[in-house]
Amino acid sequence: MGKYAHYDLPKQIVLLSTADWDAPLWTNKQQIAVRLAEDFEVVYVEPVAVFLNPKRGLQKRVWTDPSGVTVYRPSGALPFGNKLWPVNEVNCARVAADLTGLLRDKDFAQPLVWCYPPTGQPLLKHLPHELSCYDCVDEYSAFPGAWITAVNNMERRLMHAVDAVFTTAKSLYEAKRKYNPNTFFVPNVADFEHFHQAAEATPSLLLREMKRPVIGFVGALNYKLDADLLRAVCAMRPHWSFVFVGPQREFNAQQFIGCANAHFLGRKDIAELPAIMAGFDFCMIPYKVDRYTHGVLPLKFFEYLATGKPVVTTPLPELETFQHLVDVVTSAESFVEAVERRLDDDPHVEQRVALAAQNSWEHRINSMLTHLETIRRRKARERR
């Protein structure tokens, strides 16, 4: 028996994801699935994607990960399903028809359906299940290119349909709770044991020859990054090193061609990250502050705290609670001042590590399973 075996819940879980299992960076979906697989049978359903997606085609794919998670990759689907409800219904019906056979073969009778895509309500209609939840980790209507009304309408259908809604940010909780009385704020967390290794690890050879201080970022390089701020800081302190670790997604590193002190290391395996982060003098979250990041509590925040390193961040609303432990900056000048000040005096190392230790994946999963168990028992009483 593992950490979650004692919960009075269905022992089979269908997890509807917004990320492919083999995505370069694992997020909530894979992290939760692999941990639940210790005590539950888990089928991880990758997102619907169009036929032209290089990973999709006319045939589905099913395999078992070494963790025990069964991964189901659906065949290619019709375009615009995330914007047009009739298309979404058709795509979901196709996936459900195929997925039903897989679940029947695995004797999934009345599983728990754990949903991430806001478009997932039609799948719930087609999949027999005893309990369901929506783990809301983003404000999807704020994504670039999203059709705001369409996404909001799809998400509201889902929130009305599920037994519980979980949100990773307080702003998401305030926005979603009116659509489901069982809405709970359960914030993002980190793999504390893994990232705390950076506190004592030998720094990676990739960083040892870089000029100090080294200010590092770990995560996907995308539209959230404030490139204007970063270029300005690079120009103000050409003798500092700025390191970016992660895959590039909708982010043009060529715009830093004139910044010799900006180093893009690309995607690294998670096992390499503690040694790389051991070579940081500072960690940074240089995000734009806009409608999308308004509801973002980055996974990397608690990962950074676990290293004990000082953290500099732009004023993301979800990080206001932690301002006493990090440095919040609004300009290149305040960024530079914060780094210089904290390199001279950093009294919060132990508090950062302690906070990260309190926010582990086990803590988050236990919180959600406890809520789901309470709801299941209440539903059973109501049926009597």
> What is the 3 state secondary structure string of 160-184?
HHCCEEEECCHHHHHHHHHHCCCEE
Domain that holds residue 84: 12-189+360-383
β-strand partners of 112: 13, 131
CB 119 within 8 A of CB 152: no
Distance CA 195, CA 249 (A): 24
219 shares a domain with 177:
no
Domains of the chain: total: 2
252 shares a domain with 152:
no
The verdict on residue 5 lying in a domain is no
CB 82 within 8 A of CB 18: no
366 shares a domain with 343:
no
CB 250 within 8 A of CB 185: no
159 shares a domain with 223:
no
115 shares a domain with 80:
yes
Token pair 């036929």 in the structure block, residue? 51
pLDDT 10s digit of each residue in the chain, 384 long?
789 999 999 999 999 999 999 988 889 999 999 999 999 999 999 998 876 676 776 678 999 999 999 999 998 888 888 889 899 999 999 999 989 999 999 999 899 999 999 999 999 999 999 999 999 998 888 777 777 888 899 999 999 999 999 999 999 999 999 999 999 999 989 999 999 999 999 999 999 899 999 999 999 999 899 999 999 999 999 999 999 999 998 788 889 999 999 999 999 999 999 999 999 999 999 999 988 888 889 999 999 999 999 999 999 999 999 999 999 999 999 999 999 999 999 999 999 999 999 999 999 999 999 999 999 999 999 887
pTM (predicted TM-score): 0.90
- Cβ within 8 Å of residue 131, ≥6 positions away: 9, 10, 112, 113, 163, 372, 375, 376, 379
226 shares a domain with 112:
no
The verdict on residue 2 lying in a domain is no
- Cβ within 8 Å of residue 176, ≥6 positions away: 136, 159, 165, 167, 183
243 shares a domain with 172:
no
- Cβ within 8 Å of residue 154, ≥6 positions away: 82, 85, 88, 118, 119, 121
Residue 12, helix vs strand vs coil:
strand
